[in-house]
Structure 1
Amino acid sequence: MKQYRAYCFDLDGTIYKGTEVIEAAAQTIYELQKRGIEPYYITNNASVNREDVENKLAKMGIVAKRERIYTTAVASALYCAEYHASSHIYLYGEEGLRKAFAEQNLRVVGPEEADVAVVGINRESTYESLSEVMNVIRNGATFIATNSDKIIPTATGFGVGNGSFIRLLAHATGIEPLYIGKPESTMLELVRESGGYAKDEMVMIGDNYDTDILCGIQYEIDTIHVAGGVHTQAQIQQREKQPTYFVENLTELL
C-alpha cells in the first residue's frame, strides 16, 4: 500500500464505536505516530468541537493534536467566519456547535433576528423545536447543514443522523441547504491548506461509502474503506466508483 503524508481518519465507526475504541485503529495510529506521521481526524459529528474529540480520544489511549481535528461544527464555524462574518446566525444543534461558533466570535441570535440558520445534530429535537427552525428558514434565512448523514454509528447499532432531520426540513420548507460535512470537501480542503499537501499525498479513511469514501473520491484523493461499519465491501462493490483500497482492519495500513 502506498504511504502518505496526510492520513485523514473518520471517527465514528472507524476509530471507535460509541464509547468503545477499535483496538486495530488505536494500534495503527500509534504506529503512524512512531514513524513521525501525525494523523488528521475528520468527523461529521457537529455535537462536538476539537477539545471534546481530543479528550475522548485521550480516554481511549489515543493522543491527538487538537489542530488536526476537524468536526463539522468547527468547519461550519470557519465557513461562516469567511462568508457570513456579519450575519445574524441561528444555531440548531448541541454544545459543540455553539462552542465552535463562539470561538470564531460569530453573532449568534434568536429565531426572530436570524438571516442564517445552521443545523446540526440535535438529540433533544422536538416537534416544537423543529418547527421553530423550519420557520426561520421559511422566513428567508440562508440554510446551512453541518452534514447529510442519514444514520450514525452507536455502541449498540445505529442512530438517526442529522441528514434525516435535514430532509424533513428541506421537505417542509422546499429549500435545499448548503452542506458542509462529508461527502462535501470542505474539511479535506482545510487539511490540505493547513499542511500544504499535494492531493496525491493525502488519503481519506472510513467505513461509510456515502460520506467518507465519496468525500475522498470527489476531492480526487485516494481512499481506504475499512470493514465493520456502515457499509460492507460487498455493498460498495455494487457502486460505480470504488475506493482505492479495502481493508478488514486498519493495521493493514502498516
Structure 2
Amino acid sequence: MTESGGRRLTDFAAFLFDLDGTLTYPDGAVPGAPEAVRAVKGLGKKVAVVTNNSRLSRRQLAAALRRSGVPLDEGEILTAVTATARLIAGQRPDARVLVVGSAGLRAELAEHGLRLVEGPPAEYVVAGVDPDLSYPKLARAVEAILSGAAFIAVNVDRFVPTETGRMPGAALVVGAIQAVVGRPPDVVVGKPAPGLLLEACRVLGVRPADALLVGDSLASDLPAARAAGTAFALVLSGVTSGADLAAVQDRPDYVFSTLTELRECLGV
C-alpha cells in the first residue's frame, strides 16, 4: 500500500465502492471483495456502491452481488441509471423519455414513473450502453434532440467489462449522437462527474471530506473524487495497471494492490 492522503483509513466515516473491476468481475466477485466489505461494515462504517453501470437496474445488480457473496443490498447501491431517473423525475415527473440503452436502463426509468417513448416528441433523450444499438434508434434520438429534447448521458465510459473481455461503453452511443447534433450532452450523470458521489454522501449523511471512494479507474474514479471532495483509494484489480499509475501526476490518496490489502490496513 502507498499513500499520500495522510489520514488513517479508519478515520473515514463512509466507504464508497466502485463496482466493475473493484468489487466484481463479469464472472463473480473480485478476490477479497466480500471480506473487505464485511470488514468495513464490521467497523461500523457506512457503505455504498457508486457505479456507472448502465446495463442493469439496482435490483439486478443487488441479485448479482448476492450471488457473488458480496454483502450489499439494493438500498446500498447508487447507479448512474438510478441517478438519471431521479434527475429527470425531479425536474419533470411526467416526462416523455426516449431511451437509447439497455433493458435495465429502461426498467429503472419506468419504475420512477417516467413515460418511455420510441420516438419524438420527447422531453429527454437518455443515452447509455445499448447492446441492441441500431441506426433507426440513433436517428430517432437525434431528431428528438434537434426538436428540443434535453440530451442526458448516463455516463461516457469508453469500455465496459464482459465475460469475454470488454465491449464499447456508453461513449459509443453518446459520441454518435453528439457528432450529429453538434453539441455535447446537457448532463453527464455518472463518473467522472461528481454527482453520484455527492448523492451517495447525502444519502449516507456524511460530508464528502469524510468519505473514501474505492475504485479501479484513474480516468473516471479519480476525477470524480477530486470534484466531489472525497478521498480516493485506487485498487489495482481492474482497468489500471502499475504503468498507468506511474504515468499520472495527480496521485491517488491511497493505492492498494488488492482489496485484501485494504482490509489488512484497516486492522481487520
Shared fold, TM over 0.5: yes
Residue correspondence of structure 1 range 100-115 to structure 2 within 5 A: 100-115=108-123
Q: Give the TM-score normalised by the residue count of structure 2.
A: 0.89
**In 1: Cα distance, 2:34 partner to 2:140 partner:** 41
Residue of 36, 40, 44 corresponding to 1:36:
44
Q: CA deviation at 1:191?
A: 1.1
**Residue 13 of structure 1 corresponds to which residue in structure 2?**
21
**Residue 9 of structure 2 corresponds to which residue in structure 1?**
2
Q: CA deviation at 1:245?
A: 0.8
Residue of 203, 218, 227 corresponding to 1:218:
227
Q: Give the TM-score normalised by the residue count of structure 1.
A: 0.94
Q: CA deviation at 1:65?
A: 2.6
1:224 partner amino acid: A
Matching of residue 72 in structure 1 with residue 87 in structure 2: no
2:227 partner amino acid: Q
Q: CA deviation at 1:221?
A: 0.9
Matching of residue 90 in structure 1 with residue 98 in structure 2: yes
Q: CA deviation at 1:209?
A: 1.1
**Residue 53 of structure 1 corresponds to which residue in structure 2?**
61
**Residue 119 of structure 1 corresponds to which residue in structure 2?**
127
Q: Residues 40-83 of structure 1: CA distance to partner in whole angstroms, max 9, x if unpaired?
A: 11110112121111100000112213211011110100111122
Stretch deviating more after TM superposition (24-33 or 114-123):
24-33
1:12/1:43 contact within 8 Å kept: yes
**In 2: Cα distance, 1:109 partner to 1:94 partner:** 14
SS of aligned partner of 1:23 = coil
**In 1: Cα distance, 2:233 partner to 2:165 partner:** 22
**Residue 242 of structure 2 corresponds to which residue in structure 1?**
233
Residue of 183, 199, 204 corresponding to 2:192:
183
**Residue 266 of structure 2 corresponds to which residue in structure 1?**
none
**In 2: Cα distance, 1:103 partner to 1:127 partner:** 27
1:216 partner amino acid: A
Q: What's the Cα RMSD here?
A: 1.6
SS of aligned partner of 1:112 = coil
**Relative contact order, CA 8 A, sep 6+: which one is greater?**
2
Q: Residues 131-187 of structure 1: CA distance to partner in whole angstroms, max 9, x if unpaired?
A: 222222233211000001011122332211101221121112112101000011111
**In 1: Cα distance, 2:242 partner to 2:148 partner:** 42
**In 2: Cα distance, 1:159 partner to 1:225 partner:** 23
1:117/1:144 contact within 8 Å kept: yes
Matching of residue 159 in structure 1 with residue 171 in structure 2: no
1:202 partner amino acid: A
- Percent of residue pairs bearing the same amino acid type: 26
**Residue 257 of structure 2 corresponds to which residue in structure 1?**
248
**In 2: Cα distance, 1:57 partner to 1:196 partner:** 24
1:205/1:213 contact within 8 Å kept: no
1:206/1:225 contact within 8 Å kept: yes
The answer for unaligned runs of 5 or more in structure 2 is 1-7, 264-268
2:222/2:252 contact within 8 Å kept: yes
**Residue 71 of structure 2 corresponds to which residue in structure 1?**
63
**In 2: Cα distance, 1:111 partner to 1:147 partner:** 22
Q: CA deviation at 1:38?
A: 4.5
SS of aligned partner of 1:108 = strand
Q: What is the number of residues matched between the two proteins?
A: 254
